[in-house]
Amino acid sequence: MASLETHELLIDVPGRAAGRCLDLQMKPGERWGVLGPNGAGKTTLLHTLAGLRPARAGEVWLDQRALARWRRRELARWLGVVFQEHHDDFPATVMETAMIGRHPYLSPWQRESGEDLAIAREALRRFDLDHLASRLVSTLSGGERQRVSLATVLTQAPRWWLVDEPTNHLDLHHQVAIMSLLEEQASAGCGVVMCLHDLNLAARWCSHLLLLYPDGEACWGPVEEMLELTALERLYDQPLTRVEVEGAPVFVPRR
């Protein structure tokens, strides 16, 4: 059971006095959405889950082993992270960037094989990036760069996807494409944790939700239990209207 768990985890949000300890049990096949207003700690949590940032207290466990006991290289095969910000200072093409996803599988001096290349090509095709394979990433639009980041993680083929705002910069077609891909990954036995700002994408595509409040409070559970109007209004400090569309809840901010 390659589950991702947090044991009495307190994320380290600078300046925050306290918060609720998180005891999450996230299982392969599940799609967790992390919701909360700006500054609530969504990215901090994601980075803590990835072992990129120390917790204030508690531990993250992956596959029944504390993250601290994993070797970095081994972890790189298990956890794929899509960051919110793209740092493309290094002049690399789209294909070269996607191929970074194969590095955890290669020894230091080993060159990528034809199979590695085929995996990267397929990931680029999946994100409509094949025609941009030889372009420098620095010349791409925001949405194209986001798709390169996602394609790089698809090339990496991790067991867990940790994605900070997957639909950032994406047009509607590509928003649905990435959410479908994450659903597909979960159906194939991967786990997904994604920070989202769009309540309606969360309602439609997530199996579980974690609500993070700015004061450090938190609650979590299956999506149908978490989409409670007053809890969401308190979360965003924003009156909302709930309607049903095609049997699914849709939340609209009230003016």
Ligand X SMILES: Nc1ncnc2c1ncn2[C@@H]1O[C@H](COP(=O)(O)OP(=O)(O)OP(=O)(O)O)[C@@H](O)[C@H]1O
Q: Return the ∠ at Cα 99 (arms to 146 and 106), rounded to 5°.
A: 140
Helices 142-156 and 114-126 cross at an angle (nearest 10°) of: 140
Q: Are the beta carbons of 34 and 84 closer than 8 angstroms?
A: no
Rounded to the nearest 10 degrees, what angle do helices 142-156 and 172-187 cross at? 10
Q: Per CB under 6 A, which region of 2-10, 40-48, 170-178, 179-187 contacts ligand X?
A: 40-48
Rule CB under 6 A: choose which of 22, 24, 44, 61 binds ligand X: 44
Which residues in the 11-30 window bind ligand X by CB under 6 A? Answer: 13-14
Largest interatomic CA distance in the chain: 59
**Nearest residue (CB) to ligand X, 216 versus 249:** 216
For ligand X, the binding residue among 28, 36, 158, 191 (CB under 6 A) is 36
Interface pick for ligand X out of 4, 10, 40, 210 (rule CB under 6 A): 40
Report the nearest approach of ligand X to the CB of residue 33 (Å): 13
Beta bridge partners of 65: 62
Does position 211 interact with ligand X (CB under 6 A)? The reply is: no
The residue from 28, 41, 51, 80 that contacts ligand X (CB under 6 A) is: 41
Closest CA to 35 of 233, 240, 245, 210: 210
Residue ranges in contact with ligand X by CB under 6 A: 13-14, 36, 38-44
